[in-house]
Amino acid sequence: MSLKIVQSPDPGLREICEPCTPGDRDLLKLGKQMAKMMYANNGCGLAAPQVGCGIRFIVIDVDWDGEDTATRNPIFLVNPEIQELRGEPVTDREACLSCPGISVPVARQPWARVRYFDLDGEEWEIEGDGLLGRCLQHEIDHLNGRTLFEACEPAVRIKAIQAYDRAVAMGAKPGESQIDVEA
Provide the annotated active-site residues: 139
Alpha-carbon gap, residue 174 to 45, rounded angstroms: 12
Return the half-sphere exposure (C-beta side, CA atoms, 13 A cut-off) of residue 77: 27
Alpha-carbon gap, residue 151 to 93, rounded angstroms: 11
Taking the mean position of all CA atoms in its chain, how far away is CA 162? 21
DSSP 131: H
Smallest CA-to-CA distance from 46 within 77, 17, 11 is with: 77
Rg, the chain, Cα only: 15
H/E element, 76: strand 75-86
Cα-flanking dihedrals φ and ψ of residue 178, to 5°? -85, -25
CA-CA-CA-CA torsion sign (94, 63, 58, 1): positive
